[in-house]
Structure 1
Amino acid sequence: MPHARISPRLLAALLALAAGSAAAQGTPASPDIKRQQPQINKIVAEVSPKRIEAYVAKLVGFGTRHTMSETESDTRGIGAARRWIKSELERCGAGTALQVAFDSHVAPVSARISRPTEIVNVVATLPGTQDAAKDRLYVVSGHYDSRVSDVMNYTADAPGANDDASGTAAVMELACVMAKYKFDATLVFMTVAAEEQGLLGARHWAEQARKNNLNVAGMFTNDIIGSSTADNGKVDNKQVRLFSQSVPATREMSDAVRQLVATGGDSDSLSRQLARHTKEQGERYVKGFKVSVIHRSDRYLRGGDHMPFLEQGYAALRFTEPAEDFSHQHQDLRTENGKVYGDLIKFNDYDYIAKVARVNGAALASLALAPAAPQGVKLRTDKLTNDSTLVWQANPEPDVAGYRIVWRETTASFWQGAKWVGNVQEATLDMSKDNVFFGVQAVDKDGNVSVATYPMPQR
């Protein structure tokens, strides 16, 4: 029997009836959180593989971008590279609110620095436009330095096309595309130096952010996002890995982390909540592309520029291609037994880099347009009941329409259910706190949804 078709007029009437029913029960209808935001669709559509390829080619053209390489030349070395990055961001941001600056400090001699060396990040900031949200920052980075087999060799050619001209180019492309738009919160686009010498550029910025009490609500690093081909020749251009930390591996737990572990919420850290949101928004706007969340802070016993942010207590994630080819990473340029070694431009897949950049752009835009994650979220435990009561503080943003509660089974990684509860600060669900994990999200009038906040016990 064929399905009956509902006319648009009848469908509108049914939706209006449902909204009226919700209002009659004291809960205004939820904003449409399923509709795609036109601004995010435009950002995703404007990301260009050709521009990304041109950025990578220019970076490779500097010969080496080793942290201790030439700084006086206009054509070779890390000095020429950083000056070009800054000038290009200034060029594409002309006429917009984008603010471009160097962030510099001198690193002393250490295991990977043979002489005192100036470390220079290039930072492009797009200020938020909402008074209640402009101090909330979302940071995205790639590192523009490169290396060969010997991490101390600063004279040999080190093209670094994948590691990490790919991430640098993606960040530059996002800055240039997104500078034309307005967001409630502030976006920070960084190309950082000295990743290969010990994450020095990112660490300096993260430490200064904490010292100055900056509200970094989320950080992405894009490192080795250039190739869709694994070392066995298998091509996988339909997914990207997203690494997210659970609880930090520290000698002593903070009170917040201790409560997280005590309630079984070790997979509900700030970074895991950010990863859930990033996966949902990335896959929503970049169709047919999977964001594979990996429950590790990084690849096995390895690290990247998100880790200094994690050390400072910020939520931070790493994007990396599905399977690295180590013959094209940290290698002297050579051919042995017919096999080519080296991080060369020909091994990159620029359509793939663009897809990863689009995921970044969709996630960043959705975060910067949405309210902040609710604060003071608690799960009441003063009574033994089989239902669950959550309480939270009201968000400061003037356009918040209300809140929704999300939940999942304790064995599930991602949210499985949700309930709109309206513009209230307390709600009770007929579900046992023993059997599920909860989160609370803020929703604005345009349907932008915040990252979820895990509730701590209220006794």
Structure 2
Amino acid sequence: MRLIALAALLALPAVAHAQTAAAPEQPLLHEVVSQVEPDRMRADITAMVGFGTRHTMSDTVSETRGIGAARRWTERQFRAMGEACGGCLEIALPAETVTGTRVPTPTEVVNVLAIQRGTGDPNRVIIISGHIDSRVTDVMNFTADAPGANDDASGVAAVLEAARVLSQHRFDATLVYAVLSGEEQGLYGGKILADYAKAQGWVVEANLNNDIVGNSEGQYGIRDTTRVRVFSEGTKTVETAAQTDRRRYNGGELDSSSRNLGRYVDGIADRYLTNFDVEMVYRTDRFGRGGDQVEMLRAGFPAVRISEGAENYDRQHQDLRTENGVEYGDTLEGVDFAYLGQVARLNIATMAALASAPMVPSGVTIEGAVKPDTTLSWTAVPGAAGYRVWWRSTTAPQWTNSRWAGDATRLVLVGVPIDDYFFGVSAVSDDGYESPVVFPGPAGAFVSVGDPPARSN
């Protein structure tokens, strides 16, 4: 009898750990990936480089040189795309006059947004962004030529290509294509975007910020065309003191909404791109550096930074010159358009997948202290045909085990102890599109609770 009882107990975890069937391949995602054209992005970057400088404090009147001309060119591109899709794009130009350490005189910073309203849940928003401003060695030099081909015309080209491809399709959620200004002078474009999103009442599920995404040759001449980095914060910028105490004790430092968004992007690359992998980096950004996604995080929105796998610092923030046989400067020659095409495909497939899936579950809670089983509960979300509960070892980087919950909003994992694993829940549509995984409680919630911290320049 003892042997029978032991066998029954050993069988419980095996049942609970059973993997569900793989999610179905989505023809739409293969289709949008196939529609990317690197030559269009080459033309876009060539046009942006042709404005000489796009420094935030450069000329705003000229039609051929400066940030003003570049912004108006961007607006024209979006308007042409809108005409091609039967008026599916709304253009918005949120702006703010700013001053700061790197902006000594009042300067208007203008973003250019194209908004593709969702057909089912238009208040749920997925944003792709890149910044159009450029700089040279002296961040205050707004007259010298600053081509900014890779930093960040490459990111803007990815945004434009996403708009061209995805505007030909319709999605449940709203897609926003955001070309930002003022990044190099203090992340002003990101702040203006975050403020605009809050003023519109958007529920931002994801911000994919593309900054320096077009180069494949590193500092020492080693070329890597197969890898892109996705940076994501571990603990939330908007975490309150009480939430910090809870997270510090029970875990969640590896499972912010942004971190699980990064895992989602990684999964898209694995399934829909060939010979192109996401390297997740467990940092908000590169060491000691920052991008516009930081201001989205300050507003409580899930956001990641996408950057090339091999940076060449001779081509970033440099005056155009040649010294000791080394060419400095962010010129068109430093962009690998085939590689940039892969980055664009990753963004486009991710946006299409997110916008086709249900919203992530909310109100995810967990219990199981002093019990052999773990129970998860959540609030139903519109458009979800069912839910999947996920878990992994506390030292595993990716979700490894899952169990289908059907359309229930509560699941008991028999024989899976809460102390040994991290847990989460995703929502799945009737045609198999799946949301990112949500870690229980405030640490992992995609809609943050608590006021964001004060911003300092």
SS in 1 for 2:127: strand
Structure 1: which 4+ aligned runs deviate by more than 6 Å?
Answer: none
* 2:284 matches 1:297: yes
SS in 1 for 2:108: strand
When residues 104 and 401 of structure 1 are mapped into structure 2, their CA distance, relative to the original with a 3 A threshold, is closer
SS in 1 for 2:319: coil
* 2:172 matches 1:184: yes
SS in 2 for 1:107: strand
* 2:355 matches 1:390: no
Instruction: Give the aligned residue type for 1:105.
Output: A
Q: Distance in 2 between matches of 1:174 and 1:260?
A: 36
* 2:118 matches 1:128: yes
* 2:128 matches 1:140: yes
| Residues 239-260 of structure 1, C-alpha deviations (whole Å, 9 max, x = no match) | 100000011467x735444433
Asked if the contact 1:283/1:359 (under 8 Å) is kept, the reply is no
Which residues in structure 2 correspond to 1:38-49 (within 5 Å)? 38-49=27-38
Shift of 1:421: 1.6
Shift of 1:111: 1.1
Asked if the contact 1:33/1:449 (under 8 Å) is kept, the reply is no
Equivalenced residues, count: 422
Which residues in structure 2 correspond to 1:236-315 (within 5 Å)? 236-248=224-236, 253-315=240-302
Q: Distance in 1 between matches of 2:94 and 2:262?
A: 30
Asked if the contact 1:104/1:118 (under 8 Å) is kept, the reply is no
| Residues 111-159 of structure 1, C-alpha deviations (whole Å, 9 max, x = no match) | 11132111111101111001xx221101110000101111111111000
Q: 2:318 aligns with which of 312, 316, 331?
A: 331
* 2:79 matches 1:93: no
Instruction: Give the aligned residue type for 1:42.
Output: E
Indicate the RMSD between aligned Cα atoms, in angstroms: 1.7
Asked if the contact 1:405/1:420 (under 8 Å) is kept, the reply is yes
Instruction: Give the aligned residue type for 1:414.
Output: Q
When residues 104 and 404 of structure 1 are mapped into structure 2, their CA distance, relative to the original with a 3 A threshold, is closer
Q: Distance in 2 between matches of 1:452 and 1:68?
A: 42
* 2:441 matches 1:456: yes
Shift of 1:71: 1.3
Asked if the contact 2:23/2:432 (under 8 Å) is kept, the reply is yes
Q: 1:61 aligns with which of 50, 72, 75?
A: 50
SS in 1 for 2:76: helix
Instruction: Give the aligned residue type for 2:276.
Output: F
Asked if the contact 1:31/1:445 (under 8 Å) is kept, the reply is no
Shift of 1:283: 2.2
Question: Where do 5+ consecutive residues of structure 2 fail to align?
Answer: 1-18, 443-457
Asked if the contact 1:102/1:120 (under 8 Å) is kept, the reply is no
Q: 1:407 aligns with which of 391, 395, 404?
A: 391
Shift of 1:441: 0.9
Q: Distance in 2 between matches of 1:413 and 1:222?
A: 23
Q: Distance in 2 between matches of 1:274 and 1:186?
A: 17
Q: Percent identity?
A: 43
Instruction: Give the aligned residue type for 1:326.
Output: Y
| Residues 218-247 of structure 1, C-alpha deviations (whole Å, 9 max, x = no match) | 101100001000010000000100000011
Which residues in structure 2 correspond to 1:358-437 (within 5 Å)? 358-381=345-368, 384-397=370-383, 400-430=384-414, 431-437=416-422
When residues 434 and 34 of structure 1 are mapped into structure 2, their CA distance, relative to the original with a 3 A threshold, is same
Question: Which residue does the alignment assign to 1:441?
Answer: 426
SS in 1 for 2:291: coil
* 2:92 matches 1:107: no
Q: Distance in 2 between matches of 1:249 and 1:126?
A: 28
Question: Where do 5+ consecutive residues of structure 1 fail to align?
Answer: 1-29
Q: Distance in 2 between matches of 1:359 and 1:257?
A: 33
Shift of 1:384: 2.5
Q: Distance in 2 between matches of 1:139 and 1:161?
A: 22
SS in 1 for 2:100: coil
Instruction: Give the aligned residue type for 1:223.
Output: D
SS in 2 for 1:237: coil
